[in-house]
Amino acid sequence: MKRLVPALAALLALCACGDAGPASPPQPTATVRMAAVPGRPASGYFQLRIEGDRGALVGVTSPQTGRIEMHETMNMANMSTMRALSSIPVRDGEILSFTPGGRHLMLYDLGPGAAAGGRIDLVLHFERGDPVTLTAAVVAAGDP
């Protein structure tokens, strides 16, 4: 009986920890940062786990913008430059990342409703498969 009580207590403690099943995959995250200077393009960032054979990301659109370009930041001879990307090859299972200082989106001609605290839909178009829509949180230029 003395051994049974600690064993039952341990079993109850494990049950109280909740579901110990596999963790659900992280949800896609997306952010659009407003430009510091009015009239300049906003920048967009996201992470998305690629599922299936999609070929390449060939473009991004949004009903709230005039156009979106995919860019990549490069550092050469202590200078930072950008170049436009027409497509980005992707593979099943990889995380497609657009981050500050690397690949990013340039959002031109934002609609009048686009403001910090709002949301913008980003529609990712691939060579194969249906488009993927991410809803991006809009943040001010100086926000973290």
pLDDT at 108 over 90: yes
- In terms of pLDDT, which residue wins out, 130 or 24? 130
- Of the pLDDT bands very low, low, confident and very high (cuts 50, 70, 90), residue 16 is very low
- Of the pLDDT bands very low, low, confident and very high (cuts 50, 70, 90), residue 6 is very low
Q: What is the architecture of the domain spanning 28-139? A: Sandwich (2.60)
Could you state, in order of their start, the residue ranges of all structural domains in the chain? Answer: 28-139
- Model pLDDT, residue 102: 94
What percent of the chain clears pLDDT 90, i.e. is strictly above it? 69
Which among 136, 144, 142 is positioned nearest to 114, based on CA atoms?
136
- Model pLDDT, residue 23: 52
Tell me the C-alpha distance between 84 and 105, whole Å. 9
Write the single-letter amino acid at 87.
S
Compute the mean pLDDT over every residue in the chain, rounded to the nearest whole number: 85
- Of the pLDDT bands very low, low, confident and very high (cuts 50, 70, 90), residue 9 is very low
- Model pLDDT, residue 35: 95
Non-local CB neighbours of 82 within 8 Å, separated by 6+ positions = 71, 72, 73, 74
pLDDT at 80 over 60: yes
